[in-house]
Amino acid sequence: MVIAAGSLLDFEGDAIVNAANQGGSGGFGIDELVNRAGGYELKEARKQFGTIDTGTAKYTQSYEHKKVKYIIHTVGPVYRIPFTQRFQTEEEKREFLIQKDPLLEQAYQSSLQLAKELQVETLGFSLLSAGVFRGERSLEDILLIGLRSVMKHTPPSLKEVTLVCWTQEEQDCLVKLLHQEMPSQ
C-alpha cells in the first residue's frame, strides 16, 4: 500500500477509483475533474450506466485520460444529517452517522472486486466520503474505515494500491493511521 499526495489524475497505473455520486454521470470535486480528463466519450459512457447505488461500483474505459486504462466509479455514503433530523444526545447523532459505515466499506470492497475482475495490478484510490460527503463524521473515522477496508479486501492479484490524499490533513491523518494499524511499517 502506498500513500500519495496530490491529485488522483496524476496517478499512473492500470486504474483509478473515482469518488462518484449516485447520479453516475458526474458531479463536482474529483468526479468533475475525472470527467474533464476523460473527455466527451467518458461523459457519454457514464450516462449509459445510469445511477450507481451507494456502496457499489461500475467502470468505464479511461478514454482521453491516458495515464490509466480504466476508471472505476464508486459511491461512498453521505454523512450529512438532514435538516429535519433531531437528536436528543450526541450519542444518538453518532449512532445515526455510524450506521452508514458498512456502505463505505462496501464501496471500497466493490471497487477492489471490480479491479480484480478487470485484472488490474496497480490501482489509485480517491479517499471515499472524505470530502463533502464526510459531513459531520470525523476525517479520522472515515480514513480508518477506508484503510481497514483496503487492507481487508485487496485481492492478491492487485500488486499495488495507492491511496491518494488531496490535502495535507488527509495525508497526515492517513500516515498516522497506517502506523497505528501496521506498527512495523
DSSP string computed for 125-139: E--TTSSGGGTTS-H
The tens digit of pLDDT for each residue in 127-183 reads 999 998 999 899 999 999 999 999 999 999 999 999 999 999 999 999 999 999 987
The residue type of 96 is F
Distance from the first to the final alpha carbon of the chain: 10
pLDDT at 49: 86
The tens digit of pLDDT for each residue in 28-84 reads 788 889 999 999 999 999 999 889 999 999 999 999 999 999 999 999 999 988 888
pLDDT at 185: 58
Q: In what order do the strands lie in the sheet with 2-5?
A: 2-5, 160-165, 122-125, 15-19, 70-74, 57-61
The three grid cell numbers given for residue 44, joined into one nine-digit string: 457519454
Q: Go through the domains of the chain in sequence order and give each one's CATH number.
A: 2-181 (3.40.220.10)
Spatial separation of the C-alpha atoms in residues 10 and 27, rounded to whole Å: 20
Q: Is the pTM of the predicted complex or chain greater than 0.85?
A: yes
pLDDT at 24: 80
Q: Are strands 160-165 and 2-5 parallel, antiparallel or unpaired?
A: parallel
Q: SS3 for 71? A: strand
